Amino acid sequence: MSSKLPADEDDLRAFLTTGNKQRQARFFEAVSAEWRPHARRFLHRPSEDEVEDLLHDALVELCLQTASSERPRVLAPPGATNPQGWRTTAFKNFCVDRARKRRRRTHADSFAGAGHSPRAEAEAWRAEKAARRGSPAADPARSQPTHEAPHVESGADDGFVTLVEQNELSALRAEVLRLAERLAIHRRVILLLSLEHADPSPFAEELARRLHESPTDTLTRIAVALRSDIEDPTALPRVRVPWPVEPEVKARESARKALERAREDLIAALRERSA
């Protein structure tokens, strides 16, 4: 049974200095009990295996020595008045950093799968980061200096709750992307171009057939649109993907109407599924 008492840092120090496995296990058990509720909040409807995997990764990352530091990040600095608060903040920062790295890998894998070059993917990632910059939820992971207490701003727990909300939104977003496949090709492509981290490249061949052109031409315009650092969903690089030859004013109007109808179709589909 997991301990309900706060973890005793002396147990970890004893393991680090003497190799006492029993004291290491006692510390790991107590810290896992502290972190488990936070792990469940961070993950979206996790299984017990997912919770334990996250805890295991955190224990390895935060509780063991590294080449750059003799003091594990989980240990509060000498004189700290709230070691448990330090550990909690260290774990939350670990979770945020882990999610950010996974998002980065997913972005890279999706571009590689669509045949884009690493350079194009890196440029698109930088553009998306720039678009998110300035938002409280933008890249929230903070580095934790080895010999300084982690910086905890007021409302840090609110930020963690925001991450939980983002996980819930990510599930909704996945459902939206799945339902988008039902849309007419022009609506589907312009909608995906307007969504962060969405890529219409898998539908390039279908769009190319509709436009009577080479899939290479379609993919080239998609790559240009994905690299453009523009928030306007009817920006010309995006509009030109499904409407490459129409006059600019007409193409933008077609894009605006297609987006409106795509959103209406998606809302109706989501309501139908939740009914």
Q: What percent of the chain has pLDDT over 70?
A: 73
In this prediction, residue 76 has a pLDDT band, given cuts at 50, 70 and 90, of confident
Average pLDDT over residues 261-272: 81
Residue 66 pLDDT > 60, yes or no? no
CA 29 to centroid of chain Cα atoms: 29
Angle made by CA atoms 225, 228, 234, in degrees to the nearest 5: 65
Report yes or no: 4 and 33 within 8 Å, Cβ to Cβ: yes
Q: Which pLDDT belongs to residue 77?
A: 83
Q: Give 2: exposed, middle or buried? Use CB within 10 Å, 0-12, 13-18, 19+.
A: exposed
User: What are the Cα distances from residue 17, in Å, to 23, 28, 71, 99, 213?
Assistant: 11, 16, 11, 32, 69
- Range with top average pLDDT, 101-105, 162-166, 207-211: 207-211
With H, G, I as helix, E, B as strand and everything else as coil, classify residue 66.
strand
Is the per-residue pLDDT at 166 higher than 90? no
**Residue 171 reports pLDDT greater than 70:** no
Name the amino acid, one letter, at 1: M
pLDDT over 80 at 130, yes or no:
no
- The tens digit of pLDDT for each residue in 22-62 reads 888 888 998 999 999 999 888 877 888 889 989 998 988 88
Mean pLDDT of 157-167: 46
β-strand partners of 66: 69
Between these two residues, 45 and 219, which has the higher pLDDT value? 219
Confidence class of residue 223 from pLDDT cuts 50, 70 and 90? confident
What is the residue extent of each domain of the chain? 9-166, 181-274
pLDDT for the residue numbered 152: 40
pLDDT in tens, 189-216: 998 888 877 888 889 999 999 999 998 8
pLDDT for position 131: 56
